[in-house]
Structure 1
């Protein structure tokens, strides 16, 4: 089950990506980042990321925390890490 959620209700609270993050999560992620541009994104628990989700990160450029849990993203896309 995919989860894109804010870890706390406060401003600047990190947005957490967990499990498989399919294309449907891209819009949720974009809305959460646009609601609070100061929020960081923790992608360490994301096991598989659709490219649409990655594109949201590239376009909106939040600060990302840690190394992505998706091995492909961690290996091939982290050099182009958003934020």
Structure 2
């Protein structure tokens, strides 16, 4: 699975297919304050991108894939360090 919950951070690992959108929504709705770590993410299916854009979780990054870092990450709120 590419959507992994570790504490209060949801880590996206590798390429995230359409099925990961549902898992991501579930994890974000369980605890709305969770952040999403994109550092290990590859390409994101557009459904996963739509979840991120709609729910606007705090992002830990930089994104692991150049396309995601260039075009998707700037549209999301970045988590500021402590």
Does TM, normalized by the shorter one, top 0.5? Answer: yes
Aligned twin of 1:70: 65
Aligned twin of 1:4: 3
Q: Distance in 2 between matches of 1:59 and 1:80?
A: 11
Aligned residues: 78
Displacement of 1:80 after TM fit? Answer: 1.7
Cα contact 1:41–1:63 (8 A) shared by 2: yes
Q: Distance in 1 between matches of 2:71 and 2:9?
A: 24
Change in Cα spacing, 1:82 to 1:27, as seen in structure 2 (3 Å) is farther
Tell me the TM-score normalised to structure 1 length.
0.84
Deviations along 1:8-65, whole A, 9 cap, x unmatched?
A: 3xxxx10110011011100000000000101111011001111110110110111010
Q: Distance in 2 between matches of 1:21 and 1:49?
A: 5
Unaligned runs of 5+ in 1: none
